[in-house]
């Protein structure tokens, strides 16, 4: 059975949903980049997580727990950064260390040390920064080779983006790259199967109504208020989000 279609749950049918946060850029001043957040806001969010007793786990830990491996802490949360921007290293890493949290950074294998070319150009971490990120106890995952929409690629191209990026990263870093995050969070059954076939332990998506090991739900944390951030931590947030999207579609006059 392909994991991409597997519903998550503990033996006995109890559902497991660990909040998983997805960040992109952190900046010292408000930035027009669509997925950026100011540093102070990120620090405040981590402060809240620490005050609430959260402990960080990685998507790999979540996948292993779901497969019946070691249990997770009571208040587990996963922190992820997509794309591998330089500010993940210069700005996020010191704050993560200050609060004793770990995170996974999903890097674009063929763009390491270059500028992002799938969004507003922004500098990406080089190999030395990625190695330091790992040495600090953080984790690296693959975000494909070139950050293209995988769903429009040929089978050969898909294989290269998914399995090829893993091989390249593992060869250059000398460590395992256990999980994959879909570029633009876009995926279907074919892409989830490719991720599983390439030997990854889990795949990360965007916010989803139903989790599966190869499409773990993640919440995009944007420059919102702290009260909205707290709402995003609720295990039922994906259901709320789904309801909101449905309501906007069916009765757009009711909601902003």
161 lines the binding site for Zn ion (CB under 5 A): no
- In the numeric block, which tokens belong to residue 136? 């600090």
Query: Which residue has the CB atom at the shortest distance from Zn ion?
Result: 82
Q: Could you tell me how many residues of this chain bind Zn ion (CB under 5 A)? A: 2
Nearer to Zn ion, 58 or 116 (CB): 116
CB of 35 to Zn ion, least distance (A): 8
Q: Which of residues 64-83 bind Zn ion (CB under 5 A)?
A: 82-83
Nearer to Zn ion, 66 or 124 (CB): 124
Q: Which of residues 83-112 bind Zn ion (CB under 5 A)?
A: 83
CB of 47 to Zn ion, least distance (A): 26
CB of 251 to Zn ion, least distance (A): 32
Residue of 183, 202, 228 lying closest to 84 (CA atoms)? 183
Q: Which of residues 177-216 bind Zn ion (CB under 5 A)?
A: none
Residue of 27, 46, 44, 47 lying closest to 35 (CA atoms)? 27
Contact residues toward Zn ion (CB under 5 A) are 82-83
């Amino acid at each position: 059975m392909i994991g991409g279609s597997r519903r998550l749950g503990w033996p006995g049918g109890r559902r497991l949903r660990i909040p998983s946060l997805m960040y992109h850029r952190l900046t010292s001043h408000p930035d027009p980049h669509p997925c950026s957040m100011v540093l102070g806001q990120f620090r405040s969010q981590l402060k809240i997580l620490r005050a609430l007793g959260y402990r960080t786990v990685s998507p790999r830990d979540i996948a292993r727990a779901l497969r019946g491996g070691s249990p997770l802490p009571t208040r587990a949360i996963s922190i992820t950064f997509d794309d591998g921007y330089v500010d993940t290293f210069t700005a996020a890493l010191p704050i993560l260390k200050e609060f004793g949290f770990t995170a996974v950074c999903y890097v674009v294998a063929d763009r390491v040390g270059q500028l992002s070319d799938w969004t507003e150009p922004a500098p990406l971490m080089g190999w030395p920064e990625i190695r330091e990120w790992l040495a600090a106890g953080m984790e690296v995952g693959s975000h494909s080779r070139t950050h293209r929409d995988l769903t429009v690629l040929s089978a050969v191209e898909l294989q290269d983006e998914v399995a090829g990026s893993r091989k390249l990263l593992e060869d250059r870093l000398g460590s395992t790259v256990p999980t994959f995050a879909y570029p633009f969070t876009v995926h279907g059954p074919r892409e989830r199967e490719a991720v599983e076939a390439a030997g990854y332990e889990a795949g990360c998506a965007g916010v989803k109504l139903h989790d599966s090991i190869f499409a773990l739900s993640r919440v995009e944390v944007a420059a919102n208020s702290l009260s909205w951030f707290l709402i995003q931590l609720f295990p039922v947030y994906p259901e709320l989000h789904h309801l909101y999207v449905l309501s906007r579609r069916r009765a757009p006059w009711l909601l902003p």
